[in-house]
Amino acid sequence: MEHELSKIAIIDFGSQFTQLIAKRIRVMNVYCEIFPQNTDFKTVKEFNGFVFSGGPESVNNSESELAAEIIKLNETMSVPILGICYGKQLICHYFGAQIKTNFNREFGKTKIKILKESPIVNGVWDIGAEVDVMMSHSDSVNTIPEGFTLIASGVINQTVAIIVNESRKIYCTQFHPEVKHTENGIGLLSNFLDIAHCSRNWTMQSFIDEQKQKIQNMVGNQKVIAAVSGGIDSSVATALTYQAIGPQLNCLFIDTGLLSNSQKQNINMLQEFPICYIDRSNLFLSRLNGITSPEQKRKIIGNTFIEIFEEEAKKLGNIGFLMQGTIYSDVIESGHASNNASTVKSHHNVGGLPEKMQLKLIEPLYYLFKDEVRILGKEVGLVHEIISQHPFPGPGLAIRIIGEVTEEKVHILQEVEEIYSNTMKNYNLYDEIWQAFAVLLPIKTVGIMGDKRTYKYVCALRAVTSSDGMTADAFPFEDKNKYSLVFWDFLQNVSNIIINKVTGVSRVVYDITSKPPATIEWE
């Protein structure tokens, strides 16, 4: 099946890693889209190949009409299929294999051994090689379906790791090739694209052109409000939308009283867009009074944002749309990428939005990860200071203050974050780190300053490395030899500066937890 623009359809069964599959494929310049499992088959039948994602369900308790239709298409058209984890079990179940629940459960890094050659592993792993892969499954395939060949198995549990049906061009992996913990998993995905005869001609510029056209078609002659925060996501989305519709875009910067000092400074770098400044800090802080639940905080902030935007829309007139800088990691963690996805946390601009809104949403970055947003930012001409900044959550410091949010705590944390960021830049560490921030804890500890007893707050510092925000390691543990000595010196120095300059903090700790099991943000 040949197309001017090759296309891969990813059928999402609820895996937290589904969008990573799309990201890996797009990096190889092949266009792909993600579809929920309830998508009509007619929507996807013209694609060059299909990937069935992982998911939290058991195939013994669920069925997929879409998957069955795609497998039937494969029978007549030999359209390649790659099943990953749950996707593999779904395919095997379709062909009559026995799937055992809670059998040979595996979570995390596991070794597999390559037993035979196959186009899916050729040039990636040699026969006899033992390879580190990332498993995350409770159910296991107990019998190999007729027509399939075992290509790789687990070293310890003899898990059915890779099976293929070469005549049907169906390939199944129990592990996740899309995550970085799988050794050269991207090579396996690349082989699948070759098997599907995909032309590698999709670029970020083609994405920009497509999004501009979509925005123009959606908006028509109506106006759009842009939620501009000074962060990278909203700035890039604003630049892209402004290039699409020009003065039809009305940019609003709402001071929630929960922003870092750098967020406010970044607005001055976006002078090419007409931005209206609105101070509603008292409103946000009053509504958060007494609230300690992070989910409640997010929903209150989300609802308040929408309320203000709708008020401003009435003043401006002919406003039909609200533009947001939502990216896909927000969507995944909020459980909105799939009917089966579990909610890690609601993001204020996804799960935190009210059910009924007067404004329709425009979200041009919806299917992009953070590193792709940075690439897009360069393409649309934003300055380095905007593009290179660390991610900052939409709810702001409200979710970096554990427990109740008060104006005093916000000021304390603003000071800490400014010191942390500036000192990191002085040590030339800022650009080496994916995200760094401080968290103010709801506890106080005893200290000694000037021979006197103190009793003040504890703040936690966090710094992580990541490529996509879906997995992360505490800095500098991934590359200890290169950064350890300078980072420990940095931590001692920045801790001393914080204690001496920030009234209200008497102790500084450092968070070394990776993601998973933790999330990057604390709330």
pLDDT digits over 186-238, tens only?
999 999 999 999 999 888 898 899 899 999 999 999 999 998 988 899 999 99
What one-letter code names the amino acid at 496?
N
Choosing from 93, 137, 176, 390, which is the catalytic residue? 176
pLDDT at 347: 41
d(CA 395, CA 287): 13
Q: State yes or no: is 176 an active-site residue.
A: yes
- Sequence ranges of the binding site: 229-235
d(CA 313, CA 317): 6
Q: How much is the pLDDT for 254?
A: 92
Fold match between 7-195 and 210-387?
yes
Query: For residues 436 and 429, what is the distance between their CA atoms, to the nearest angstrom?
Result: 10
- Distance CA(268)–CA(410), nearest Å, equals 22
Max CA-CA distance within the chain?
Answer: 83
Weakly modelled stretches of the chain, pLDDT under 50: 1-3, 335-353
- Beta-carbon contacts of 443 under 8 Å, excluding residues fewer than 6 positions away, are 457, 458
Tokens encoding 138? 């409770």
Q: Are 457 and 440 in contact (CB under 8 A)?
A: yes
Helix (H) or strand (E) holding 138: none
Residue 452 corresponds to which tokens in the numbers above?
């006197």
| Nearest residue to 366 (alpha-carbon basis) of 402, 404, 326, 319 | 326
Q: Among this protein's residues, is 178 annotated catalytic?
A: yes
Q: What is the DSSP letter of 144?
A: P
Considering the candidates 32, 85, 198, 251, report the single residue annotated as catalytic.
Answer: 85
Q: For residue 177, what are its two tokens?
A: 């090739």
Domain 210-387 in this protein, CATH class: alpha beta
What pLDDT sits at residue 69?
Answer: 95
CB 56 within 8 A of CB 217: no
Sign for the CA dihedral angle at 315, 317, 320, 323 comes to: negative
pLDDT at 56: 77
Quickly list H helices, 116-203.
185-195
Write the burial class of residue 252 (CB in 10 Å: 0-12 exposed, 13-18 middle, 19+ buried).
buried
- What residue numbers does the annotated binding site for ATP cover? 229-235
Identify the three-state secondary structure at position 75: helix
Q: Please give the pLDDT value at position 192.
A: 97
Residue 85 annotated to the active site: yes
Residue boundaries of the structural domains of the chain = 7-195, 210-387, 402-511
**Catalytic hit among 32, 92, 172, 178:** 178
Q: Which two tokens stand for residue 488?
A: 């420990």
Instruction: Let me know: does 152 contact 159? Beta carbons within 8 Å.
Output: no
Q: Which of 30, 2, 1 is nearest to 10 (CA)?
A: 30
167: exposed, middle or buried (Cβ count in 10 Å: 0-12, 13-18, 19+) = exposed
Whether this prediction's pTM lies above 0.75 is answered by no
Number of neighbouring beta carbons within 10 Å of residue 40: 11
- Smallest CA-to-CA distance from 462 within 440, 485, 481, 446 is with 440
Fold of 402-511: GMP Synthetase; Chain A, domain 3 (3.30.300)
Cα–Cα distance between 264 and 445 in angstroms, integer?
32
Q: Which CATH number fits domain 7-195: 3.40.50.300, 3.30.450.20, 3.30.465.10, 3.40.50.880?
A: 3.40.50.880
